[in-house]
Amino acid sequence: MTITEPRPTSGATTISVTPQSPTIGAEIGGVDLAEDLSDQTIADIRQALLDWKVLFFRDQDITTEQHLAFGRRFGELEVHPFAPPHPEYAEVLRITHGEGAPGLENGWHSDVTWRVEPSLGSILRMLEGPAVGGDTLFADMYEAYEGLPDYVKEKVEGQTARHDFTRFKIGMRKQGAMEEEIAAVEERFPNPHHPVIRTHPETGRKAIYVNSAFTREIDDMNPDESEELLQILYRQASYPEYQVRLRWQPDTIAFWDNRSVQHYAVSDYYPQTRVVERVTVIGDTPYFDPDQAPTGLPPRPFRGQIERDRRGVDWRRQR
């Protein structure tokens, strides 16, 4: 086993884990996702997901059926209500971009936070990609939270925010949907109010759980203060120290934990074609429990401006 983990794991493992940054992202080896994997291997992959938040599998020449089978080992799969239906499998979301359909997902977000029970994780398979470009970035929202100044933490911990699928409603209107139809969809998917800082149900760690794609405002707060705080929280994903970047190759698969990361699909390949398929594992209702936070975490490896920002130090005012 080749592994450098943030904390020791117990027992033998059936996979290799090669970290891609100090806190987020690992490449997984020693596994063929086309096979019927043992319960131990699935448990090892799940533990690696909890430790590293996003996993990369290379050289995985699998079928759509095998993609689905792998996803189902981690839970029930969702059917996306706003995507064009897959010709064979309702749980598969196919995303195609190219000439006439440029990429739109180049904003930091966590998948389907507009659901009452948002995603546990997403598993994305590259079918066709540009020769260069079309990378995906992932941001560690544990470290993004830890890097907040204390005064911001005090203001947002315990607060909730409203999430909405506004961007999809815009698309429905462009396609000619009547307001009655949109109202019916809104009734099916009422706006949830999720904690601004959520507790990860398996690790107990705190993570920022608002994103610019789906979060509308912090509840019961002055609109100006809400917007100011949301912008601070959104910006945390932009620190390169909290990120890992995946350069896609043929037969690459990424599996990320939507409870602890946000992602950004780089749109720099137009008019080349990029086709991916995603299956999404249904999660549970987010909550915040400060007493569940673990102790004895490794020290943060970040220094320089990112640490000054955490401490609220403005270097421009120092002599």
Sorted by sequence, the CB contacts under 8 Å of residue 143 that are 6+ apart come out as 23, 24, 241, 242, 300, 302
* Residue keyed to tokens 């794609």: 213
Is 97 labeled as catalytic in the residue annotation? no
CA 139 – CA 260 distance, rounded (Å): 9
Is 200 labeled as catalytic in the residue annotation? no
Looking at this protein, which amino acid is placed at residue 34? A
Neighbours of 283 (CB within 10 A): 21
Task: HSE, CB side, 13 Å, CA atoms: give it for residue 49.
Answer: 21
Task: HSE, CB side, 13 Å, CA atoms: give it for residue 83.
Answer: 19
At 36, list the tokens: 């019927």
Is 111 labeled as catalytic in the residue annotation? yes
Q: Catalytic: which of 44, 67, 97, 109?
A: 109
Q: Catalytic: which of 198, 259, 263, 274?
A: 263
CA 164 – CA 76 distance, rounded (Å): 23
Sorted by sequence, the CB contacts under 8 Å of residue 149 that are 6+ apart come out as 309, 310, 311, 312
Residue 41, SS3? helix
At 129, list the tokens: 């990609």
Is 278 labeled as catalytic in the residue annotation? yes
Residue 226, SS3? helix
Task: HSE, CB side, 13 Å, CA atoms: give it for residue 293.
Answer: 15
Look at residues 250, 246, 244, 233 and name the one whose alpha carbon lies nearest to residue 195: 233
Q: Determine phi and psi for 135, rounding to 5 degrees.
A: -70, 165
Describe the chain by its helix, strand, coil percentages, rounded to 5.
25, 25, 50
Q: Catalytic: which of 111, 140, 257, 309?
A: 111
Q: Catalytic: which of 97, 115, 274, 278?
A: 278
* Residue keyed to tokens 């601004």: 196
Active-site residue set: 109, 111, 263, 278
